[in-house]
């Protein structure tokens, strides 16, 4: 039984809200999520609809929005001149043409560039080269986006307004980013429900319109201090600065053929270590955790399996939700839901929405074309 809500009160909230539930098993968690204004199960578009369009660009975020995703996920960084923008990697090399435009500075962190410099980069062409079957000429030259621009996208479709799921990426590299984020969200009116929102607001208009996420417990504490009323998730993985592993054997020494196989064998040191991290999350203000998962078909997003049923139960028993990262295939959606998760980060929002029987109003191709791609 969760320790923050009474069971009958939760069931009453659920009955009054008309909230969608994954299954009767997760009824209590559905009510908890709904009490925070968070859909259950939640569809979190990881860097936008990043399977179908270049990650963290307008093509990916407008597509995720128009497909009907609940949240647009982003990794937040700060430019040299202090502007908040979205980019996953520390470096610009993988997803832009920085090597061509700034050859001497190509290995510098993205944060060493001004916004004007970042805006000269092509953050779309790499996708066409990496994924030729999904390539589009219109992706060439897509720019890196600021947080302001992503907020504009989130607000841009009257039929569907998703929320924002914002990660403070490498927060030790960006002292004060939690404060800057609060100021920006406050300036844009995103720290409270939208004015004029109906009794049953869309996700991007209600009290769960922003979820804050981080791997760093220090950043979680700072986010809690700056934005105590905004839901927060502590991301979990097995390794440095997170859950201590059972064995400290490196990938190189493990004899495994690829990283997915190596990570799949990683486990928390013991049950107490996993539960210690749940307590860290809760003590620092998190309403849930974001654990990694081992994917059925491996790949570079396959990590330690931290969504085993006992883990999800332990998290639920502490009154917290579980949003797992990053699943793209029905076989993994099914396993995760059966294990009891409450939301899924996905690069393929179209597939997850279909799985949850919330199909998009149009196909991926139709929506990309409608949006000018
Ligand atoms: O934020 C959840 C998930 O995105 C964490 O992994 O490395 O893709 O940011 P990463
Ligand atoms: Ca992320």
pLDDT of 30-51, one tens digit each? 999 999 999 999 999 999 999 9
Ligand nearest to the CA of 233: 1
Which residues does residue 345 pair with via DSSP β-bridges, in sequence order? 44
Mean pLDDT of 178-183: 98
75 CB less than 6 Å from ligand 1?
A: yes
Is 214 or 259 the better-scoring residue by pLDDT?
A: 214
Q: Buried b vs exposed e over 204-228: b needs ≥16 C-beta within 10 Å?
A: bbbbbbbbbbbbbbebbbbbbebbe
234 CB less than 6 Å from ligand 1?
A: no
345 CB less than 6 Å from ligand 1?
A: yes
* CATH annotation of 39-180+201-214: 3.20.20.190
For residue 292, how far is its CA from the centre of ligand 1 (angstroms)? 9
- Ligand 1 atom with the smallest distance to the CA of 169 is 9
- Please state the domain extents for the chain: 39-180+201-214, 236-312
Residue of minimum CA distance from atom 10 in ligand 1: 88
- Ligand 1 atom with the smallest distance to the CA of 47 is 4
What proportions of the chain, in percent to the nearest 5, are helix, strand and coil?
40, 15, 45
Return the percentage of the chain with pLDDT > 90, whole number: 84
Residue 180 and residue 284: Cα distance in Å, rounded?
19
325 CB less than 6 Å from ligand 1?
A: yes
| Dihedral Cα 200, 203, 205, 206, nearest 10 deg | 60
Which of 88, 160, 316, 323 is an active site residue? 88
* Distance, C-alpha 277 to centroid of its chain: 19
pLDDT at 9: 55
Q: Given ligand 1 and candidates 73, 325, 327, which is best to mutate, with the most ligand atoms within 8 Å of its CB?
A: 325
Q: Is 46 a catalytic site residue?
A: yes
Residue 281 pLDDT grade (very low, low, confident, very high; cuts 50, 70, 90): very high
pLDDT at 94: 98
Helix axes 147-154, 58-67, angle to 10 degrees: 30
């Amino acid at each position: 039984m969760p320790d923050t809500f009474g069971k009958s009160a939760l069931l009453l909230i659920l009955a009054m809200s008309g909230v969608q539930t994954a299954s009767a098993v997760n009824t209590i968690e559905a009510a908890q999520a709904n009490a925070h204004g968070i859909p259950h199960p939640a569809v979190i578009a990881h860097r936008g609809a990043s399977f179908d369009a270049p990650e963290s660009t307008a093509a990916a975020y407008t597509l995720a929005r128009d497909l009907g995703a609940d949240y647009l996920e982003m990794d937040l960084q700060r430019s040299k001149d202090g502007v908040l923008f979205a980019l996953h990697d520390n470096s610009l090399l993988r997803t832009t043409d920085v090597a061509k435009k700034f050859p001497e500075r190509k290995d510098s962190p993205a944060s060493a560039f001004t916004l004007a410099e970042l805006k000269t980069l092509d953050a779309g062409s790499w996708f066409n080269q990496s994924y030729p079957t999904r390539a589009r000429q219109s992706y060439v030259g897509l720019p890196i986006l600021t947080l302001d621009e992503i907020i504009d996208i989130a607000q841009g479709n009257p039929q569907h307004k998703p929320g924002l799921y914002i990660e403070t990426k490498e927060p030790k590299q960006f002292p004060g980013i939690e404060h800057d984020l609060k100021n920006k969200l406050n300036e844009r009116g995103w720290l409270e429900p939208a004015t004029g929102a109906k009794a049953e607001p869309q996700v991007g208009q209600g009290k769960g319109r922003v979820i804050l996420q981080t791997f760093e417990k220090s950043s979680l504490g700072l986010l809690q201090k700056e934005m105590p009323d905004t839901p927060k998730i502590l991301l979990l993985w097995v390794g440095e600065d997170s859950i201590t592993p059972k064995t400290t054997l490196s990938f190189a020494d493990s004899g495994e053929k690829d990283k997915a196989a190596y990570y799949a064998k990683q486990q928390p040191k013991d049950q107490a270590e996993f539960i210690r991290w749940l307590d860290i999350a809760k003590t620092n203000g998190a309403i849930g955790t974001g654990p990694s998962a081992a994917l059925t078909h491996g790949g570079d997003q396959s990590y330690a399996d931290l969504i085993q049923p006992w883990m999800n139960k332990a998290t639920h028993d502490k009154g917290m939700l579980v949003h797992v990262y990053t699943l793209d295939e029905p076989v993994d959606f099914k396993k995760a839901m059966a294990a009891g998760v409450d939301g899924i980060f996905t690069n393929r929002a179209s597939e997850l929405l279909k799985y949850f029987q919330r199909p998009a109003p149009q196909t991926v191709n139709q929506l990309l074309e409608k949006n000018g791609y």
